[in-house]
Structure 1
């Protein structure tokens, strides 16, 4: 390729990409590290996202830039830089005969870690189809979610979500110059990224910036996806040595000059013992304390869902069969999580007004015991706890999103999936933490069936692993291309199974169950999830 074929225009200036060949032999152009916002440093720390300064020279987008500061999930150390607001674009052709559908992917990481690094998110598998893939970094932890209550300081929070919003606007305004169709954008995210996609689907700020959505293993109704307003900024300042007044102006000045690495390191220490189990993260999406022209979250998600603009667009939504296996890592780090487990504390935080010995609470606890533990002792049963967390932290919220859409009167279709391919070589998240012998499909295991990562070799073509990659990529790229996940744009072996949208207003819901073979069947978790549904109904707490 000549250099001219590698240069694309953006509204801020020209960028030069580099020719790349995928692990499957597909030629494409990588544009790495394009700035989509001003670096949020100095006086812009904690502030809403701002457009980048234009550039006059051609910008070399040929190597990855630093990602945003966060806690590395493997080493548990802080990595990255405050100057991390960059995106990557992967396209086969800047001037195709027909513009490509666009997939914008939001990484996960519990709102305190994660990045778009090619080590984990290389687009090789997606590019079996004629699509463009966009990945990016966004602010996480206190730098991405700290808020202050004083409107004059202009720190309402949720800047991590506003970074994502800026990416969606960049894609809308520039993607045609990379060969992409600005009228055919699918927003995809996993875990905290799935929670983020779920928020973009229900807030007015993101309306019409994408045309379909894929929500993976996380949503706005999961307990961890909304953090309550507390004095997080003050707690953070104090733990870093602040000793002055509680005046927010002084707190902001202190924190804008504090070491961002230390700030990122200490964030988990801010949750008090009495808040354990009720608050998952100090810094995560929250209802902003006052309204501005840039307000992102103004009400509880449950209120936004009912009239969400996205009830009229199609979505795919689902998770893995054993999401909660990830909690084995927490149990091994903090055995007390299990040994001091009280099932009475498993009542969702939305359900208020039940005393410790309320008969409704006690009956619910008994049902939890029967459903997840049978005859075992909860304080000793690791896998029982993981199964409970699968539903409590993931699947129940996902099912409630489906219920909300099915009862909204909207015209959008909802396709439900469940990923259950249990491979000893391809399930990267589980293998990297627990080795290849643990059975079950953990939270995060499906990512390595969409993106190539540095730890998993590309499987041989006749293996279950490669077939599963083709199938998973097929439903995602087919849906992104034309709204029909059955259209099989890459010719995968789909075993003649038709995936229909959810048809009923209430569970049981049918899903595409992706195991060694494909099945279109009632979601296997349905019976367990009914236990949680019943608690909401008994306490007259809205499910949607």
Structure 2
């Protein structure tokens, strides 16, 4: 099992203090954790092929690690024909981009996407971002090669400062300047086209998949925003949650009408307060993670002969390491963004797990699900059969605190709301 860490393609690493192997190796798994270039260093791009910087260097680092696994994992007791790639958040999106990339063909046999898919609206960013970076750093010259070499020899902290300036000058609603991009030169591209277009055309690496999200992803983002002031941050711009994919221009009557519709659905007439942050939590959960995951699963089933398993993660114990960071978050039910990681990896802040505790019971079920999928392409749950998604039927399993419950169409009311919007604008 090869894990790709998250961090918005900007921060993070695969260090054991965050992703300790103690839990999953009990499933007789050979684990590989990889690092990759991040920020502008991993996603700098220039359209001119003579510079050799077409973008997605971080994703190509990941691919190089997967090639290494193919060549060497047998010496560590692994099987190069049974490689499962899995990741969370930007790591989950990375996994999905490997599924979609022609350059990753043959490097893995199964894929698990946790709280992130390559078709999420926050994944792909600005192309040719090197020109923007040069502009804000004052590298002005008509000689493109001189510009490139000047950037190349600047101290790393200057590049980071340039990115921060870009973020201030060009605030992005979704993907920004340090994200994967569609590469201009298709023959050598890691990502030759729009991810959803690749998916729908069926020109990708077809393997068994697990795709899912946590039921209260938005708790994590509420924590982030509140961290700066200590106060809850109400949603003031509901149009900010509308993907650019819908083709609606901000500030237009159409945009204002849609924003009001979204506000009415999520918030109604209730004002946001410390005791009522659910609208903020729910809209972040749905737009960033739940609905994109649902779309990806439904589309894959249309042209993938292998099974696609869908899940919602709602376990809520002391292993929810991100939710447990403050008392306000603990007042909300469910699992925050990244809380599922506490059931797969031992961290420096993991609690002591007592025999027979609710934490141990939940953890054993989660690692069995992931381990069985990696070994047999079918995730095992207790007392039931996990049905894959089929065309027209979104079967799923809710991975809960004490039990795993199978069903159809998770969060159906919220997902139907977004389905209706996408259908109205002719995107689905």
Deviation track 1:238-258 (CA, whole Å, cap 9, x = no partner) reads 444x34315432222122111
Of 155-164 and 329-338, more deviation after overlay is shown by 329-338
State which of 35, 44, 50 in structure 2 corresponds to 1:146. 44
Report the TM-score, using the length of structure 1 for normalisation.
0.73
> CA–CA distance in 2 between the matches of 1:151 and 1:358?
41
Give how far 1:500 is off. Answer: 1.1
> CA–CA distance in 1 between the matches of 2:382 and 2:63?
38
State which of 312, 315, 320 in structure 2 corresponds to 1:427. 320
Deviation track 1:320-371 (CA, whole Å, cap 9, x = no partner) reads 0011112113422567994572223332111114574545x45533442233
Of 301-310 and 118-127, more deviation after overlay is shown by 301-310
For the 8 Å contact 2:83–2:110, the answer to whether it is kept is: yes
Task: Indicate the residue corresponding to 1:451 in structure 2.
Answer: 345
- State yes or no: 1:526 paired with 2:400: no
For the 8 Å contact 1:341–1:378, the answer to whether it is kept is: no
For the 8 Å contact 1:268–1:282, the answer to whether it is kept is: no
Give how far 1:120 is off. Answer: 0.7
Task: Indicate the residue corresponding to 1:483 in structure 2.
Answer: 377
Deviation track 1:486-532 (CA, whole Å, cap 9, x = no partner) reads 2xxxxxxx5412211112x236x221101122110124322101111
For the 8 Å contact 1:104–1:188, the answer to whether it is kept is: yes
Task: Indicate the residue corresponding to 1:254 in structure 2.
Answer: 150
Quick check: which has more Rg, 1 or 2?
1
- State yes or no: 1:236 paired with 2:133: yes
Cα 1:435–1:247 change in 2 (3 A) is: farther
> CA–CA distance in 2 between the matches of 1:370 and 1:353?
19
- State yes or no: 1:500 paired with 2:387: yes
Cα 1:431–1:357 change in 2 (3 A) is: same
> CA–CA distance in 2 between the matches of 1:194 and 1:395?
13
Gaps of 5+ in 1: 1-102, 487-493
> CA–CA distance in 2 between the matches of 1:127 and 1:248?
50
> CA–CA distance in 2 between the matches of 1:177 and 1:115?
25
- 1:336-355 pair list within 5 angstroms: 338=233, 341-353=236-248
Of 262-271 and 184-193, more deviation after overlay is shown by 262-271
For the 8 Å contact 2:239–2:259, the answer to whether it is kept is: yes
Deviation track 1:381-401 (CA, whole Å, cap 9, x = no partner) reads 643122101111111110110
- State yes or no: 1:515 paired with 2:411: no
For the 8 Å contact 1:201–1:309, the answer to whether it is kept is: no
Give how far 1:405 is off. Answer: 1.1
Cα 1:247–1:334 change in 2 (3 A) is: farther
State which of 280, 289, 311 in structure 2 corresponds to 1:385. 280
For the 8 Å contact 1:201–1:308, the answer to whether it is kept is: no
Cα 1:269–1:326 change in 2 (3 A) is: farther
- State yes or no: 1:121 paired with 2:16: no
Give how far 1:434 is off. Answer: 6.1
> CA–CA distance in 2 between the matches of 1:457 and 1:479?
26
Q: Considering Cα pairs closer than 8 Å and 6+ residues apart, tell me whether 1 or 2 has the greater RCO.
A: 2
Give how far 1:263 is off. Answer: 2.0
For the 8 Å contact 2:226–2:233, the answer to whether it is kept is: no
Task: Indicate the residue corresponding to 1:181 in structure 2.
Answer: 79
State which of 248, 251, 259 in structure 2 corresponds to 1:365. 259
Structure richer in helix, relative to its length: 2
Structure richer in strand, relative to its length: 1
Cα 1:234–1:434 change in 2 (3 A) is: farther
- 1:18-57 pair list within 5 angstroms: none
For the 8 Å contact 2:46–2:131, the answer to whether it is kept is: no
> CA–CA distance in 2 between the matches of 1:251 and 1:396?
41
> CA–CA distance in 1 between the matches of 2:345 and 2:16?
9
> CA–CA distance in 1 between the matches of 2:190 and 2:252?
39
State which of 197, 204, 211 in structure 1 corresponds to 2:102. 204
Gaps of 5+ in 2: none
Deviation track 1:19-71 (CA, whole Å, cap 9, x = no partner) reads xxxxxxxxxxxxxxxxxxxxxxxxxxxxxxxxxxxxxxxxxxxxxxxxxxxxx
Give how far 1:125 is off. Answer: 0.4
Count of paired positions: 424
